[in-house]
A and B are shown apart, each in its own frame.
Chain A
């Protein structure tokens, strides 16, 4: 019986496509009330006066909560969650008030009528690498060294046969899950229940309990379905604290709060723009002698988030001399946060385009250059890789993509008015398992109930966890009842860092095995076993990563410069694949998001106001159906005995890593125009066209 490896359909699929899945905002509630936040219209200052009288007299308005009336929070340590505590405005769009009303329309109208004046202070929101106040954070996300150095990069660059020294830039990006950040909150009998769209009910409970000074058992977070998150729902943002605050102010009434699309651009986190100064030195035969990457990025003045952009450069290729740094500018801007593959995603754009530039300098095929620099051990730690099949991915991808027939000359192929090119880039993402998640297996009415407080943010947890349980119990997967998305179930780590299936799956697998060992094949009603994901001692001995190779075909219209990508192909080595159907969707989704990053996405910043100008989905372009053509994801049958007992590596994020670089490299091959700042738009290639 091998439930693992079967392409089972999503258990929640029919509920989602038929509209019966209950999302946070639609949680059935008796006599709910509705909230609408009021946002600051200056980027920095102090509220001088806030006028709420006009709102308060509106029919249906129950409450206008401002810093004057808000409850004093038990903890303001997390400035993002310390809502409505004082007059200070730290960024434009910060919440300065909350209108609570009987209908969403009245709440929204009431919010429009709240009027504030400010003692405005000069604001500073412009990221640049030349700022004199850049600082070195103590650690970068999640908790790794800010800088690293081995050998002497400067000396190696000076003596290298060939060098590439370029600056690459990635834009500011905003997570835009289809379901906005939304909560239904109820304070009833001194228990706070949050039906919240979150990637982790337990992490959310912990954060909110702390903010309100409640014991965790008096906070319950429920989240059966998430309409996307990509990291923005990994930790609660201000909207959750606001909903909880309104619920406490109106006990017994369910309170609903959903951010508008526009509000998400200042309140739900974002990916920092990055400036990447990249240096590569190599011998004439294509061996890297130096890898240097100095990253500059931004954080908010009130809360630090240091994205780990240089991490992949530390371990990807062998070179005796290596140096990476991260520097931050603390600005009067909203709080940045996680977005699909924080660090690795932007952090493989500069390096993988630089590798392409080096390949052209050397006249070596870009696939071959990467193969030549394959390290034998992790260059950073010196440990062996638990498994590393990047070369196999590159070779298999090249074969499937038809790379062999490639004419390397840039800008020489014209087909029906379009310049055509192809490009390649490598992907990497760490394979993690987080200790501390617990699963329970119980025999109930002839069936097996599996409980864990995991969140399925669209990745397939509802479907793959039963597969893992069925395999360990040696029963058909139909015999498993899955229960997740509720703090009523045992503790589970956040759905993030591509660690969900590995982490929760390890606990489920272990609990199921324990159950079977303990009770045999004929358990009594109520028989129960649990297990908790533990530390993996092998982590100290092995470097654990998933790898991938991304291939792209780009077409650039010779007259207009319009850029289209008719083909993307990825080959991944990501351990054992639990469910090929949901896995494929994950890879394709990541690659599509990477395509979107390459060509479309950009939160356009206006430093005069200190805000994103294009803050809706009409103007903030993501790839739409017509932009996504032939996207293929393949994977190798990789067995990794070290990562965890299941041999599972994460797959949620590796699909996006490297995609943008592959597209940029394909655009260069098509046109001869080397675009080093994302997104690649037609104005940037126009000058290079015939």
Chain B
């Protein structure tokens, strides 16, 4: 592990300025991903800027809307009665993620910023464009079980690992960030980026931008569900996951919001499936048609072709349950 300096600034503004001014600096929150990467040599920062005491650990309510402080622990967020009753898809996604111990450390702001679990990214002895731009993508032609079927590029086929992020994408959440130039908000679905030819950049945040809160709009009408499909019953990343909100009136779908996890470089909002669903009868045929419409753009890799039927089946299964 490369030696680093440790800063514990007094306020968020100082933290942001410190990181923005030092290309080798990174924020440290729950540390559940960063500390692993420090040990593995995947992250080699020169400076850790501890923000655990700087970001809000409160969930505040204003006009029926909830604002989740970036420092709120995943376990606290999942247990919050307002989240459980109004945004069950969010609570379910949190409880599907990691383990109890990790959820006690992980934070709302940090969780969506965790990096891919691509095994080649995590192994500094193998080429990886995300870790070392220009070195190549070892996953292409390698072990692809957990890799992307949507939106990948020839430079990177990694997936984003967060469950929470998938639910936030489906809920049309917004991210509040503080940067060197001040505060701004970003629609959650626009926070993460596809790899393109700069796979080393996971999000649209600039170096030094600090997530301060994640804000939820009013709960959408309808039933909510997060369904994570994985090889073992807990403590595993998703092969595929589905966050869905479905509102049905008199057998007709009036609203649908769907996001997929485990299939792309970002939480994959299934806009095309939603279009098929809205206004259509809530039947298996509709659900299948919606899945097929979205999955028409899937480009599986040798080794993860099973994700196409698996995601189709999972989406149909979840929508059937919600209707």
Contacts and interface: CB of A to CB of B under 8 A. Distances in A.
Interface of A: 41, 92, 105, 108-109, 112, 260, 262, 417, 559-562, 564, 599-600, 604, 606, 608-609, 613-616, 618-619, 621, 623-627, 681-683, 686-687, 689
25 contacts: A92-B125, A105-B3, A108-B39, A262-B123, A559-B313, A559-B317, A560-B229, A560-B310, A562-B229, A606-B142, A609-B126, A614-B143, A619-B117, A621-B231, A621-B232, A621-B236, A624-B232, A624-B234, A624-B235, A626-B234, A626-B235, A682-B239, A682-B310, A686-B306, A686-B310
B119 A619 contact: yes
Given A559-B316, A614-B143, A626-B232, 12 more contacts: A559-B313, A560-B310, A560-B314, A600-B232, A609-B125, A613-B123, A613-B142, A614-B119, A626-B235, A627-B234, A682-B310, A683-B310
B219 interface: no
B41 interface: yes
B231 A109 contact: no
A621 B39 CA distance: 21
Interface string B211-253: 0000000000000000001111111110100000000000000
Interface in B65-90: none
B1 A108 contact: yes
Contacts of B2: 109, 112
Contacts of B233: 564, 624, 626-627
B141 interface: yes
Which 7 pairs across A and B sit closest by C-beta, in order of nearness?
A683-B306, A626-B233, A559-B317, A626-B234, A613-B143, A41-B125, A613-B119
Place the interface of chain B in its size category.
35 or more
A105 B38 CA distance: 11
A575 B291 CA distance: 57
Given A109-B1, A613-B143, A618 B230 contact: no
**Chain B interface mostly helix, strand, loop or mixed?**
loop
B27 interface: no
B150 interface: no
A560 B231 contact: no
B309 interface: yes
Contacts of B142: 606, 608, 613
Contacts, number: 91
Contacts of B3: 105, 109
Contacts of A619: 117, 119
Contacts of B236: 621
Interface of B: 1-3, 39-41, 117, 119-120, 122-123, 125-126, 138, 141-143, 145, 229-237, 239, 306, 309-310, 313-314, 316-317
A112 B310 contact: no
Contacts of A260: 39
A683 B143 CA distance: 15
A112 B2 CA distance: 8
Contacts of B231: 562, 599-600, 621, 681-682
Contacts of B317: 417, 559-560
B139 to A, nearest CB: 9
B232 A623 contact: yes
B230 A562 contact: yes
Contacts of A615: 119, 123
Contacts of A683: 306, 310
A323 B282 CA distance: 60
Nearest to B44: A112
Contact of B234 (A108, A608, A613, A625): A625
B314 A559 contact: yes
B52 to A, nearest CB: 21
Contacts of B126: 609
Most chain-B CB neighbours within 10 Å: which of A260, A417, A618? A618
A37 to B, nearest CB: 13
Contacts of A262: 40, 123
A599 B233 CA distance: 11
Most chain-A CB neighbours within 10 Å: which of B39, B142, B232? B232
Contacts of A108: 1, 39
Nearest to A40: B125
A417 to B, nearest CB: 8
Contacts of B313: 559-561, 686, 689
